[in-house]
Structure 1
Amino acid sequence: MTLTTGLGGSPRGPEFVSPGIFVSPGNEERAAGVPAGAPARRWPLVAAAGLALVAVSAGTGGAAGYLAGSPTAATPTTGATSVPPPVAGVPSDLVGAAARALPGVVSVQVRTGSGGASGSGFVFDDRGHIVTNNHVVAAQGSVTVVGSDGRRLTAEVVGTDPNSDIAVLRVTPSAALRPLAVADLSATRVGEPVLAVGSPLGLSGTVTAGIISALDRQVRLGGTVRQTAVQTDASINPGNSGGPLVNARGEVVGVNTAIATLEGGGSIGIGFAVPIDRARQVATTLIGRG
């Protein structure tokens, strides 16, 4: 059983088993993470069966998904055992945050001979570098980005890092492409309002609101090693991949990467983003190499 979400009905990656869900004999390989395309076996219908973590790029023919593993239920999250002091100066003006973020967010479109994929990205610096997800550009086709002003620019892939699911593109610098500021994660708190900005289902310039649900959620994104991710309940759907999760100041908290979904459905209010500290470090390294 392969989950299908987003444009074109392309596979988004195999299921994973949520903690506490029974795995029938012979299906352990699905729980361990067998790549998409392997022979599928049906799971028993039990409570919460079908819960899966899937990439949120939107394919238009080719498979743009990647493998993502199950969260670790026992991992404590920031703020789970103690109540932090109130954060002074956290604004509540999400309209202003959207206005600051949108000029720095782009749609990313990949075209290959057999189809392609689409996702989102954001401007990393004033030299034309764009951060997105590795799984968005993994099809290795021609890449273009569309800015908030509607201009379409040819992009070069500077470098990719599958383990962190981060990729860097480069386009001709433009005054219309404004670099986004990054947040200080050490000062970020669970419960803060955030916006997911990107092009879900090809709808460019879409903004959805929520809060930070957890800061140190252990998940497997892109590679085989579990890493911490920022969890949010902001609506994230296919096409949001690579777009920024921003706080109420318009600063990037993380790079939207995956969602939990039930039986191939869309967002159920559990999304994950690569923390901006890790994404910035990887992007800086890729730019230095490229």
Structure 2
Amino acid sequence: MPSTIPGLGEPRGPRFVSPALAPDEQPTGSTAAPAPPVASTGPDRPRYGSDGPADRGAEPPRWPRLLLAGLTVVAVSAGAGGVAGHVAGGDAPPATPDAAAAGPPGSAGGDLVAAADRVLAGVVSVRVSTGGRGASGSGFLIDDRGHVVTNNHVVAGGGTVQVVGRDGRRLTARLVGRDPDTDIAVLRVDPGNGLRPLPLASAGQTQVGEPVLAVGSPLGLSGTVTAGIVSALDRPVRLGGGARQPAVQTDASINPGNSGGPLVNGRGEVVGVNTAIATLEGSGNIGIGFAIPVERAAQVAQGLIARG
């Protein structure tokens, strides 16, 4: 049986180098055109990273028994993510097909184009540098006092923190507080910076099948928007270092660097904080991502701000 995956692992194909990040900030586990997880008897058979299958000649594929054994939930911060726990019970459903388009304005889907335009004004890239090393993730503004929500595992390593807005300006951020159990952290930047706070969805209003957008900086590509749907609610997974907690499951593409960014509905309201993905045998996104429900994230963030 394969061992538990200790993280996103080494690239399985040509390394993707983001033009927006310095070499020490490159996302962990990023790949471009990853090698397929099959064995080959020819001289050019693919070589895998340290957490992938070794070269095995013509050994028959083992996918039927690997599907559940290899399924792992990992944090998706670039450079700071690690194991976030197994999918509870090992019975995560297959990915739900992407939502190609939203419903009409005013419906549960709303207008995703307009939603993306509104949301991007409040989403930032989070850059952390310490001791010659770096990590990167995403975040979003939640009030007009300059408070930014992100993931704890993005900033847990300490160091100098900067956020980069839609206009490319770098702002120095101060860590207000962090909560490892829920994987939420709050930063603060000076107000009057042009960033726009994002509205939060009302508790209990998110619906399975509802179109959503994941917004952030996957692989250092700031201002990236991916579309999908809410695949499930109250999915029990381990996020951070605590016990299992209910999460929003989505098939919107989430990758290293998306950590801490918002998952928003068609009205531009935040329904969750993107935190982790499920992987098979160290692969990247397979269409099963998880977000901290916005009501829990907001509650924790307000507590950190009050103590801050």
Please classify the TM superposition score into its range, dividing by the shorter chain length. 0.7 to 0.9
Deviation at 1:135, TM superposition (A): 0.1
Q: Which residue of 1 aligns with 2:133?
A: 115
TM-score normalised according to structure 1 size: 0.79
Q: Which secondary structure does the structure 1 equivalent of 2:149 belong to? A: strand
Cα separation, partners in 2 of 1:175 and 1:153, compared to 1, 3 Å:
closer
- 3-state SS, counterpart of residue 286 of structure 2: coil
Q: Is the 8 A contact 1:195 1:208 kept in 2?
A: yes
Match of 2:83 in 1: 67
SS in 2 for 1:254: strand
Are the counterparts in 2 of residues 5 and 265 from structure 1 also a CA contact under 8 Å? Answer: no
CA–CA distance in structure 2, aligned partners of residues 141 and 266 of structure 1 = 27
1:173 and 2:178 aligned: no
Matched, 1:138 2:152: no
TM-score by length of 2: 0.75
Q: Secondary structure at the match of 2:153?
A: helix
2:215 maps to 197
Aligned to 2:299: 281
Q: How has the CA–CA distance of structure 1 residues 266 and 128 changed in structure 2, closer, same or farther, with 3 Å as cutoff? A: same
Question: How far apart in 2 are the matches of 1:152 and 1:70?
Answer: 36
State yes or no: 1:53 paired with 2:81. Answer: no
Q: Distance in 2 between matches of 1:183 and 1:9?
A: 30
Residue aligned with 1:187, SS: coil
- Paired residues in the alignment total 249
> What is the aligned partner in structure 2 of residue 209 from structure 1?
227
Q: Deviations over 1:166-189 (max 9, x none)?
A: 000000112511000000131211
Change (3 A) 1:145 1:280: same
- 1:75 offset after TM fit, Å? 9.3
Q: State yes or no: 1:129 paired with 2:147.
A: yes
Residues of 1 paired with 2:263 and 2:296: CA distance? 14
Offset, 1:91: 3.8
**CA distance in structure 2 between the aligned counterparts of 1:179 and 1:9, rounded to whole angstroms:** 27
Matched, 1:235 2:240: no
1:76–1:136 distance in 2 versus 1, CA, 3 Å: closer
Would the aligned equivalents of 2:71 and 2:90 in 1 still touch at CA under 8 Å?
no
Once the two structures are superposed, residues 112-171 of structure 1 have per-residue CA deviations (whole angstroms, 9 ceiling, x without a partner) of 114110000000100000000000001101000001111100000000000000000000
One-letter code of the match for 1:71?
Answer: V
**Displacement of 1:5:** 6.0
Instruction: Kindly state the Cα deviation for residue 264 of structure 1 after the two structures are TM-superposed.
Output: 1.8
2:189, 2:264 → 1: CA distance? Answer: 23
Counterparts of 1:55 and 1:74, CA distance in 2? 17
Runs of 4+ in 1 over 2 A off after TM superposition: 5-12, 71-77
Stretches of structure 1 lacking an aligned partner (at least 5 in a row): 13-39, 78-87
**Structure-1 separation of matches of 2:184 and 2:82:** 12
Q: Which string of whole-angstrom CA distances, capped at 9 and with x for unpartnered residues, describes residues 5-36 of structure 1? A: 68747479xxxxxxxxxxxxxxxxxxxxxxxx
Mapped partners of 2:76, 2:10: distance in 1: 8
- Counterpart CA distance in 2 for 1:218 and 1:5 is 28
The corresponding residue for 1:153 is 171
Let me know the Cα RMSD of the aligned residues: 2.6
Which residue of structure 2 lines up, in the alignment, with residue 30 of structure 1?
Answer: none
Deviation of the 1:249 alpha carbon: 0.3
Q: Assess, with a 3 A threshold, how the Cα gap between structure 1 residues 278 and 115 changes in structure 2: closer, same or farther.
A: same
Cα displacement string for residues 76-134 of structure 1 (whole angstroms, at most 9, x for unaligned residues): 99xxxxxxxxxx83243100110110000000000011411000000010000000000
Give yes or no for contact 1:5–1:266 (8 Å, CA) kept in 2. Answer: no
Q: For the structure 1 residues 5 and 194, does the alpha-carbon distance in structure 2 shift closer, same or farther, using more than 3 Å as the test?
A: farther
**Which runs of 5 or more structure 2 residues have no equivalent in the other structure?**
12-24, 31-50, 55-61, 94-105
Partners of 1:75 and 1:241 lie apart in 2 by 24
Contact (CA 8 Å) 1:118, 1:202: kept in 2 or not?
yes
